[in-house]
Amino acid sequence: MLYKTGFILKIVNTNHIKKFIQKNGCFVVGKTSCTFAAMTRWENYQGSAVKIITRYQGDLPLHHYLKQFFKQHPQMGSRDRKWISRLVYDYFRLGHWALDAALEERIQKAVCICEPGANDFLAAINPELNELAALPLERKLESLTINNSAYSAEQLFPFAQQLSAEIDIKTWASSLLKQPLLFIRVRPGKRTKVIDILENQGVDFQYLDNEAIALPQGTNLEQLILDKDWYEIQDLSSQTTMQLLTPKPGEYWWDCCAASGGKSILLKDKEPGIKLFASDIRPSIIQNLQKRLTAAKVSGFQTGVIDLNQGDLASLLPRKQFDGILLDAPCSGSGTWGRTPENLVYFEAEKIDYYADLQWKIATNVLPYIKPGGSFVYITCSVFAKENEQMVTRLLDTGLLEKESGGLIDGSAKRADSMFAVRFRKK
């Protein structure tokens, strides 16, 4: 990397130094002067991305790691943080393809492939790649090699053998190279108000079926729509699971792995007249869930902290049997890796067996608490057969259930997550 030196600065105070660094780059500090090293803004961005990728070990979600990194570097402005995050996320979108390549090469080619067109970063760092960036994705993948390695879907996504049969590996891998959209579900009676706000603010959006709206990732909804109970941030495929939920007034439903409560709100929005019990193993999650349901103006619910791994749950439940149980099971999360591409690199195939065993144990532990004729809705955000179709087979083999409807929800063509959801009837 080339450095230009020779700019002598008169130091008035440290605030002047900070502003100069933010605008221009970095300093080499001498005894009587500061010599400016004219590294461009874009070189600084790339250097920061290299530093993050080198230090990151996949032991916590990437967006949490980035927050920690930026907190340690408060001199970085919003534009800096945005661009550095884009470089890092694009790097991980390439999965296992040419992981041994030089980080700078892989970052630049990832930006060329994953960004939707020519951009300022490549214009400054690698103009030749910037010309390629304007091509369709397929052409870019055909034209580029990384460390002399040509693209293949299996190199990017090395778990092809574990995929559900309905997933096409080439289509699936290609979808992971594109950032998913932001989806919201408009709450009952709020559609006109939400759309009016988005139109008046000139927001680029698309209104879809079933009260779903697609927005560009990064849209600041909190500043646009001040009434938070008018919408819920919820992926399109997750919203699609509503079609399998058939609650009736007066019924008692149990959302047994409620997590943040998105499905609980979905249930109550579909049928406000149900009685709802929501549980999770984590006390902090239940506290957040209570706040979210209250903020969403949901009433008629109870919550509890329950470990579904233990066999006898009766003493922990508000009743012995439920009209319906919703199990949004802990899973690999592979259907959401477009949003968390770090998992393409750090996920281990052995974890599929771990999650399948956990799902089986939880499912068989909660089945006794469904009334005969009641509903059992099994959901994962996975694309792996062992967590999905094979789990359905195992559940049917118990002789306790009949499959009614559902299956894979492939969101790859819609820039959404992919999920799996099936509704059973208890015999």
CA gap 49, 80 in Å, rounded: 11
Instruction: Point out the annotated binding site.
Output: 280, 307, 328
Residue 184's closest CA among 231, 240, 243?
Answer: 231
CA gap 239, 184 in Å, rounded: 9
| Residue 381 is among the residues annotated as catalytic for this protein | yes
Instruction: Point out the annotated binding site for S-adenosyl-L-methionine.
Output: 280, 307, 328
Residue 167's closest CA among 422, 362, 411?
Answer: 411
- Residues 380 and 359 sit within 8 Å (Cβ to Cβ): yes
Q: Which of 112, 114, 331, 381 is catalytic?
A: 381
CA gap 418, 411 in Å, rounded: 5
Neighbours of 360 (CB within 10 A): 16
CA gap 184, 285 in Å, rounded: 21
Per-residue burial over 162-184, b if 16 or more Cβ lie within 10 Å, else e, is: bbbeebebeebbbbbbbbbbbbb
CA gap 329, 342 in Å, rounded: 21
Beta pairing class for 275-280 and 301-305: parallel
What are residue 26's phi and psi, to 5 degrees? -125, 170
Give the residue numbers marked as catalytic: 381
